[in-house]
Amino acid sequence: METLFGDDLIGRPRREIAPGAVHVPNWLTLEQQQWIAARFGEWAVGPVPLRSAKVGGHEMSVQTVCLGWHWRPYEYSRNAVDVNGHRVLDFPDWMVRLGRKALADAGADSHAVDRYTPDAALANYYDAGARMGMHQDKDERVNAPVVSLSIGDSCQFRFGNTENRSRPYRDVTLASGDLFVFGGASRFAYHGVPRIYPGTAPDGCGLASGRINITMRSTGMDRA
C-alpha cells in the first residue's frame, strides 16, 4: 500500500511552516539544478575559493563561497580579509531575477516582489558529515526575506522560533530542487541542518553527492 501511495507519487505540497516561512518542493527543474551546480563549481575556484569559516576559533563543517559580499562571522565585507584579501565575485543579475520569482511563487505580494533586490549569496557545500548548528541570519542591516535553494542530497532542516535555539521547532526534509523562503515574522527564526541524507541526490541534478545550499540575502550595505 505504501508503494502505491507514497509521498513521491502523491507529491509534496507547498506549505507555510511558520508565519512568513514557506517551503515550495520541486521548485527548480533538474536542468536548472544542473546549471546552478555548474555555476557553483566555477564560484568555488575563486577569486575567493570555497572555504570553511571559523566560528569561535573552530572551523565549520560546511564549506562556503560568497557572491556580492563576503560573509565571515559576524560581518560582511567586499574583500575576503580572512581568506586571501581578494574581492568576491559580483552578485549576478540572473540571481536577482530568480530571487524575485522565488518570492512570488512563495506567495509574496507584487510590491514585496518588485522591491526585493538581494545583493549577497552564501553558497554552502555539505558533505555527508556536515552539519549547521541552530543560528539566526542577523548580520544584515535590513529584514528582507532570505531565499534558500537546495541541490543534491536531501537534508533534515530544523526551523525554530525567534527567541532561542530550543523548542518549539519543526523539522522539514529539503530535497534537491526545493525552495524555502523565510521573512516577516519568521525572518529571524533560529534554523539549522542537523543531518544530511547521503545517496539521495537525484540523477541529473549536477551533483553526484553532497548538498549545495544557496541563500540569497539583502544586506542593506553600501553598494560601493
In this structure, is residue 12 part of a structural domain? no
Identify which has the larger pLDDT, 1 or 181: 181
Identify which has the larger pLDDT, 224 or 112: 112
In this structure, is residue 212 part of a structural domain? yes
In this structure, is residue 224 part of a structural domain? no
Range(s) of the domain holding residue 206:
25-217
The pLDDT score that the predictor gives to residue 10 is 57
Q: What percent of the chain has pLDDT over 70?
A: 95
Sequence-ordered list of residues with C-beta below 8 angstroms from that of 184, at least 6 positions apart, any chain:
19, 20, 145
Q: Could you read off the pLDDT of 37-53 as tens digits, one per residue?
A: 999 999 999 999 999 99
CA distances from 218 to 60, 91, 122, 182 (A): 23, 11, 11, 13
pLDDT confidence of 56, banded at 50, 70, 90? confident
The pLDDT score that the predictor gives to residue 224 is 55
pLDDT confidence of 186, banded at 50, 70, 90? very high
In this structure, is residue 17 part of a structural domain? no
Q: How many domains would you assign to the chain?
A: 1
In the block, cell 563561497 appears at 65
Mean of per-residue pLDDT scores for the chain: 94
CA distances from 125 to 66, 121, 135, 175 (A): 12, 13, 17, 14
In this structure, is residue 6 part of a structural domain? no
Identify which has the larger pLDDT, 158 or 8: 158
| CB neighbour class for 178 (10 Å; exposed up to 12, middle 13-18, buried from 19) | buried
Estimate to the nearest angstrom the gap between the alpha carbon of 191 and the chain centroid. 11
In the block, cell 551533483 appears at 207
| 160-182: average pLDDT | 98
pLDDT tops 80 at residue 13: yes
Identify which has the larger pLDDT, 74 or 210: 210
DSSP H/E element including 147: strand 146-152
CA angle 147, 166, 64 (to 5 degrees): 40
Q: What is the pTM of this model?
A: 0.94
Complete DSSP assignment for 152-207: ESEEEEEE--SS-SSSS-EEEEE-TT-EEEE-GGGTT--EEEEEEETT-PPTTSS-
The pLDDT score that the predictor gives to residue 12 is 86
**Do residues 120 and 66 lie in contact, with contact meaning Cβ atoms separated by under 8 Å?**
yes
The CATH number covering residue 38 comes to 2.60.120.590
The pLDDT score that the predictor gives to residue 57 is 84
Q: Could you read off the pLDDT of 98-149 as tens digits, one per residue?
A: 999 999 999 999 999 999 999 999 999 999 999 999 999 999 999 999 999 9
In this structure, is residue 5 part of a structural domain? no
The pLDDT score that the predictor gives to residue 162 is 98
In this structure, is residue 77 part of a structural domain? yes
